[in-house]
């Protein structure tokens, strides 16, 4: 079965370019390498995805899935030069990063606050991955997290502008530092 999966789903640049198989940019998010790998990814995505879906709608969540998976998969390929990776972790990192920034909003519901701690765990995990000889997709995790933080900052600033507040990126990260100091 491995040959068929590879043929259909892995991000193989030659197949994307030569055969216009665009789906390959996103399909590694559906590939998992073990029961616990898929279990943890799906549990975390379900939790934070539900927060985004409830607060912003299913269309936004679906758009996030495709954007975060595309960015994280392409980045992972670029740094590893290997197409044998898979998992939802880049998307999970993206939705966690997004929820972290949304949690900083004065009007955010308390349910987003858990994302701050999980984001810190994600950052520490990424640092350990980077300096270890791990086979975990560091690039996908890091790129997904950065994409989620950036999207969160854009939406946060739009929400603040809608209430007449002008928020800078410094204000947003200052609020994050305050939350971390109080933990």
Catalytic residue annotation: 89, 141
Give the integer Cα–Cα distance in Å for 16 and 158: 35
Give the integer Cα–Cα distance in Å for 12 and 69: 15
CB 65 within 8 A of CB 147: no
Cβ neighbours of 182 (radius 10 Å): 6
DSSP alpha helix (H) spans, the chain: 2-9, 13-19, 35-56, 58-80, 89-103, 114-131, 138-162, 169-181
């Amino acid at each position: 079965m491995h040959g068929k999966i590879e043929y259909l789903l892995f991000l193989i640049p030659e197949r994307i370019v030569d055969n216009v198989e665009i789906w390959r940019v996103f399909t590694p998010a559906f590939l998992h390498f073990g029961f616990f790998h898929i279990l943890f990814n799906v549990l975390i995505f379900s939790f934070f995805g539900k927060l985004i879906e409830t607060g912003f709608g299913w269309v936004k969540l679906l758009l996030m899935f495709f954007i975060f998976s595309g960015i994280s998969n392409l980045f992972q390929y670029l740094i590893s030069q290997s197409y044998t990776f898979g998992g939802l972790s880049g998307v999970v990192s993206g939705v966690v990063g997004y929820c972290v920034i949304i949690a900083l909003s004065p009007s955010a519901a308390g349910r987003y606050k858990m994302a701050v701690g999980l984001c810190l765990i994600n950052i520490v995990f990424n640092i350990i991955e980077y300096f270890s000889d791990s086979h975990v997709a560091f690039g996908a995790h890091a790129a997904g997290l950065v994409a989620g933080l950036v999207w969160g900052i854009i939406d946060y600033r739009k929400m603040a502008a809608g209430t007449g507040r002008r928020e800078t990126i410094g204000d947003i990260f200052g609020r994050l530092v305050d939350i971390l100091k109080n933990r």
